[in-house]
Structure 1
Amino acid sequence: YAGRGISCLQCYATADLGNIAYESAAMEGMIVDEHVLVEIVTPGTGDPVPEGEVGEVVVTTLNPDYPLIRFATGDMSAVMAGSSPCGRTNLRIKGWMGRADQTTKIKGMFVRPEQVAALVARHPEIDRARVVARREDDQDVMVVRLETSATDADAYDASISAVLKLKGRVELVSPGGLPRDGVVIEDARNYD
């Protein structure tokens, strides 16, 4: 995101990719360049998220000088519904909404989005998961929130230990109960 300026078409630059989207004059999102394919995916999986949900920006461009195929930018955004008020009709994204690398150290071990995705993949009844790092009694605690209609939280203990390499408390959340904000690992620790 290049910030506000005089031009109504500012560039959204990601690393050395060049222009992939333009900001609309009315601040109604960023319009993806017609020569670039942009996908919004779940961090750590590459699986597309539904329109409006936050995920990692993945870019494909067939530029003969610098082709990219599903390049994960590490930036988070979401697809916006509808057309731009400026009249352009290509895909719109909300702009920069954070970073996709949510790797977090819990109890001295790194937990990565790919591990959370692997946990979900082991159990077809789980729709999504969110690992939350908390502090309780001056110690790290890992809470694994699983979105599922299942009712036996203990059934997931072995998978969590095997995949995440840590033991954690399991909280079952009804389908649709986890936020659609692209976060799969949340660091909610407070050291004050």
Structure 2
Amino acid sequence: MPVIHEFDPPERFVVGTVGEPGQRTFFIQARSGPRMVSVALEKQQVAALAERVDELLDQVLDDGSSRELVPAVAPHDLDDQAPLEQPIEEEFRAGTMTLSWDPGTSRVVIEVFPITDEVVVGEDGDDEDELEIEAYEEPEPQEVLLVRITPGAARAFALRAGRVVEAGRPSCPFCGGPIDPSGHLCVRANGYRRRDA
């Protein structure tokens, strides 16, 4: 039975980073009262989650089936720009994430599962004459972060997540690669070092 870190709803649910651009570690952090969970994840996961949250809310807004108001943009009073809360203790590193809409409560549901390298191998077939087939299954996760948030809080989460992703190293206008403070070797400029202007 997995340990479920459930927040329904959290007092705070944000994405943030630790470290300098180019060396940042991304975290999702959920808190209710004294209970806080921080989960590490990749920049691409943050960007994808923010995009999918906005897409999901746009879809719910378009179909008009929500009993609760679904804002088209993040409400100003929910815009959280404070840093991550300390101490940051990584509960686990995010692997698979799921996103859904609960029409019964008009909430966005986000589940974050830990990354795993384990694979459970099972055998199919009970007749000795049959060819044995190995079936690969994902093992049951040991932990899960489960968060249920209002549409307004979800829009604010996506807005902050987008800002956090964009706050990293600037992109080279020619090759799209990240530019470090010392510059970078641009493949489109035949190896000449480009600097951020």
Normalised by the length of structure 2, the TM-score is 0.22
Counting helix residues as a fraction of each chain, which structure ranks higher? Answer: 2
Larger Rg: 2
Normalised by the length of structure 1, the TM-score is 0.22
